[in-house]
Amino acid sequence: MMKKSFLLRSYIVLLMLSLVVNVHLFSLKALSVNSVPLPLFVFLIGMAFPLCFFQDFLRFIRGRKMILILAGLFLLSGVFSVGFSPFPALHGLKCLFQYGLLFGISFLLLFLFSLEGENLGLFFLKSVAGLAVLLAFISFFEVTNEGLYRFLSDTFRGGEYQLFNGRFRAGATLTHPNIFGCFMSLGILILLFLERESGLKAGIFYPAVVILAAAMALSGSRNAVIVLLFPVLLLLLNRKTVKTTAFVIAMAVFMMVILTPSASRFADLWKQTNKTQKKDFSGEAAASREFNTVGTRLMLWQSALAMFRDYPLTGIGPGNCNRAMKDYASAALLAVEKEKIDKEYLHAHNGFLNILAEFGLIGITVALAFAIYLAVLLIRRYGFFPPLPVHALLSGIILSFIPDAFFYSLFYMVIGLTIFLLFAFPENVLCCRSSSVPSDEPAP
């Protein structure tokens, strides 16, 4: 038993580390694959667990038939979308494979949790929180050391350097500062859950919150602020969580005031001066652009809706929202985001609209059915009121997809989906002590 527990925990840590660095190993020219990601091989190694615990795996599959059916239907809708897409099929199939890898990793983790229940589920959450703290420490050195920032940007962010008022936006080993900032916010929400529901010690909780709040501010991500503050404000309605909630709010606001790379990113949502450099530290920076950020988001959403109108049933194809943007962007959007659009780097910046544009009505219907199924399980288990840390954590994940679409980040998607599955199924025994729903309630 001790050996099994050690192996499971070691594998989970290895998988999380492979996702957070996501280095690319080699190319497959025959399939036009520029780089094969490391997490794929770690996932394949993990497939040994279903083979070793085959009977347990069969029971797990029988109890998760609906979730597997919905995931399979979503991938099948993607195949139809690829078939009717105006873009080359190979690119769409490669993007669809990423979705398949996402589902596969999350289901594998859920199966591993089922082998030990609450203990392994809590270990996963503690590991994610610890990983967030580790990335936060890296970000502190990153923003003060140009050489380290250059290395991380070249290795994990395609050489894109983001500066505001001459200060770097932290991203650590993740692919974009927005993803990094939102992950810092999720780390704080996980700590709130662990502090309230599993007795995380104050000597760990409060310093960790300070570290993550500082890193979130250094990311300069407004999305991260939404992900953290809106869910935490809900917890003020629960008198049992007021003390820790007030501390988190105060610390987040304080860190934003003193550490955010540019105060204009929060003081003025309607007008932003954005300086983005591409491998240029010589002092000759590209000219700054001044544009209406909220208006840009609206224009992106309008472009995504235009794609849906042209391909309502099957969408424009997985991963093709970026490619199609140059054909659907308005003149105003092209004027401020032409470089990113030409490089096929700009998506719909909304999770719902991104799926709608790429997968059409068929895909969005299956995706909504998947979300509703999980929502029903969660509501049956935790209710609505009083708001609990689990409500804050899950709503934070949902909120991160309103102003953005993180489907290009396998790490963030695996973390988000796995947390939802972890809390949705009673077998994992992650019940809130303050919840009125009994922990042994059978799954529907």
> Can you list the positions of beta strands (E) in 104-250?
160-164, 167-168
Contacts of 113 (CB under 8 A, 6+ apart): 120, 121, 124, 422, 428
Same-domain status, 275 and 173: yes
Q: Alpha-carbon distance 256 to 49, whole Å?
A: 44
Domain with 16 in it = 1-46
Q: Hey, CA dihedral for 249, 254, 257, 259, is it positive or negative? A: negative
Whether 234 maps to a domain, the answer reads yes
Same-domain status, 142 and 279: yes
3-class DSSP state of 128: helix
Same-domain status, 24 and 144: no
Whether 151 maps to a domain, the answer reads yes
Give the H/E segment covering residue 278: strand 272-278
Q: Alpha-carbon distance 196 to 390, whole Å?
A: 10
Whether 212 maps to a domain, the answer reads yes
Q: Which two tokens stand for residue 45?
A: 């190694």
Q: Which of 433, 389, 126 is nearest to 232 (CA)?
A: 389
* pTM (2 d.p.): 0.86
Contacts of 202 (CB under 8 A, 6+ apart): 195
Domain boundary among 268, 291, 314: 291
Owner of token pair 């399939």:
31
Whether 147 maps to a domain, the answer reads yes
What's residue 417's pLDDT? 95
Q: Alpha-carbon distance 185 to 212, whole Å?
A: 7
Same-domain status, 12 and 146: no
Spatial strand order of the sheet with 289-291 comes to 167-168, 160-164, 272-278, 289-291
Give the number of domains in the chain. Answer: 2
Instruction: Give the rounded distance of the alpha carbon of 128 from its chain centre.
Output: 12
Q: Alpha-carbon distance 204 to 261, whole Å?
A: 27
Same-domain status, 141 and 237: yes
Same-domain status, 161 and 17: no
Whether 249 maps to a domain, the answer reads yes
Whether 307 maps to a domain, the answer reads no
Domain boundary among 270, 291, 312: 291
Q: Which of 206, 197, 284 is nearest to 251 (CA)?
A: 206
Q: Which two tokens stand for residue 144?
A: 């003060």
Q: Which two tokens stand for residue 108?
A: 């594998």
Same-domain status, 138 and 36: no
Q: Which two tokens stand for residue 378?
A: 């969660």
Name the residue type at position 417.
L
Same-domain status, 170 and 261: yes
Contacts of 211 (CB under 8 A, 6+ apart): 133, 136, 137
Give the H/E segment covering residue 284: none
Same-domain status, 149 and 281: yes
Whether 312 maps to a domain, the answer reads no
What's residue 287's pLDDT? 37
Domain boundary among 273, 291, 309: 291
Q: Which two tokens stand for residue 43?
A: 């996932």
Spell out the per-residue pLDDT of the chain, length 444, in tens. Answer: 667 888 999 999 999 999 998 777 656 565 555 677 888 899 999 999 999 989 989 998 988 899 999 999 999 999 999 999 998 888 889 899 999 999 999 999 999 998 886 688 889 999 999 999 999 999 999 999 989 999 988 888 878 888 777 778 899 999 889 999 999 999 999 999 999 888 889 899 999 999 999 999 999 888 999 999 999 999 898 888 888 999 999 999 999 888 876 544 544 443 443 444 444 444 333 334 445 556 678 888 999 999 999 999 999 999 898 888 888 888 888 877 777 777 777 788 899 999 999 999 999 999 999 999 999 999 988 888 888 899 999 999 999 998 888 888 899 999 999 999 999 886 555 555 544 443 334 343
C-alpha distances out from residue 222 to 212, 217, 325, Å = 15, 9, 23
Owner of token pair 């983001």:
162
Same-domain status, 141 and 21: no
Whether 104 maps to a domain, the answer reads no
Same-domain status, 27 and 149: no
What's residue 34's pLDDT? 63
Instruction: Give the rounded distance of the alpha carbon of 88 from its chain centre.
Output: 27
Same-domain status, 139 and 23: no
Describe the chain by its helix, strand, coil percentages, rounded to 5.
70, 5, 25
Q: Alpha-carbon distance 59 to 286, whole Å?
A: 58
